[in-house]
Amino acid sequence: MRPTSVPVSDPASHTSAAPEGAPRSALRSLCSPAALSGSLTELAWVGAHVLLYPLGARAEQLQTDPGSRPGQSPAVRALFAADPLAARTPVLLVHGLIDNRSIFAVMRRSLRRRGFASVCSWNYSPLLRDVSRAAEDLSAHVERICAQTGHDRVHVVGHSLGGLIARYYVQRMGGDERVDSLVTLGTPHGGSLLAHALPTPLVRQLRPGSAVLRELAEPVDRCATRITAVYSDLDQLVLPTSAGRCDHPDLGARNVLVRGVGHMSLPIHRGILDEVALTLAGSPVAGHEAVRAVA
């Protein structure tokens, strides 16, 4: 289904090809009110994030649902929780390149206020050199969460590189048996031309056509994880911005376009926070293929 026009700053979901619209010059796009507002928000959040960054260096301890009872199945445990949805599935947040869990300061609080009681972030090594190795570490961390909570499955939200690591785990390492929903924010599923600017081993894997991206493009026999890729037309790090879509034919991913939101601002944008919460909740509306505006 071809998407129709949507409000400038609201997410729109579609599973068809990249959205088509009236041709706009690059200068006009950058000077639009949405782009200017988004750029200012991006600058403000980057400044705030610099201050929060040191606070996110320490690993976060999982906060489990206080209504849980050891030895009970998730279905039974949900009966004793204030919010059955929150008790059902823990949420794991995975940051991007050269970052830490502080990028999710707003999202973590937002999800907990919406009833997700078990929310935690994972800091992987800043010396990471390989996506597949990071996926192995993610697998071990997911297993620890399942052991601590007694749940068989988790939700994962990945920002930027974190989304690609999580996708590799789900798609290539059997992680779909553990991950119920995967939401990626500004993840370069198709690579980024900007990755040519830095010739480090990890960044080279983010170039279009890299060995890792070719591996992820291979056919998939099955994938039980529901995948949603949120991407923005103002993303400064994913170039072209359409590379933030997950268009693998065997994954059935839902692609959500937002306009006027910078790369670092994706985890704090109110419409995206609502979109993530609805998706993790398994809302029928969130899974609809037609274009949808989110207030």
**For position 12, what pLDDT does the model report?**
60
Which residue range forms the structural domain that includes residue 210?
A: 12-17+26-53+77-280
- Distance from C-alpha of 199 to C-alpha of 257, rounded to nearest angstrom: 30
This prediction has a pTM of 0.78
Q: Does a structural domain hold residue 99?
A: yes
How many structural domains are present in the chain? Answer: 1
* CB-CB neighbours of 80 under 10 Å: 14
CB of 188 within 8 A of CB of 165?
no
Is 228 inside a domain boundary? yes
**What pLDDT is stored for residue 60 in this prediction?**
60
Which CATH number goes with the domain that contains 210? 3.40.50.1820
What is the per-residue pLDDT across 213-258, written as a single tens digit (0 to 9) for each? 999 999 999 999 999 999 999 999 999 999 999 999 999 999 999 9
Residue 293 lies in a domain: no
The pLDDT of residue 34: 63
In a domain, residue 220? The reply is yes
Which amino acid does the sequence have at 191? G
Whether 67 is covered by a domain: the verdict is no
In angstroms, the CA 94 to CA 85 distance is 21
Is 7 part of a structural domain of the chain? no
Lowest mean pLDDT among 22-31, 71-80, 161-170, 172-181: 71-80
Give domain status of residue 3, yes or no: no
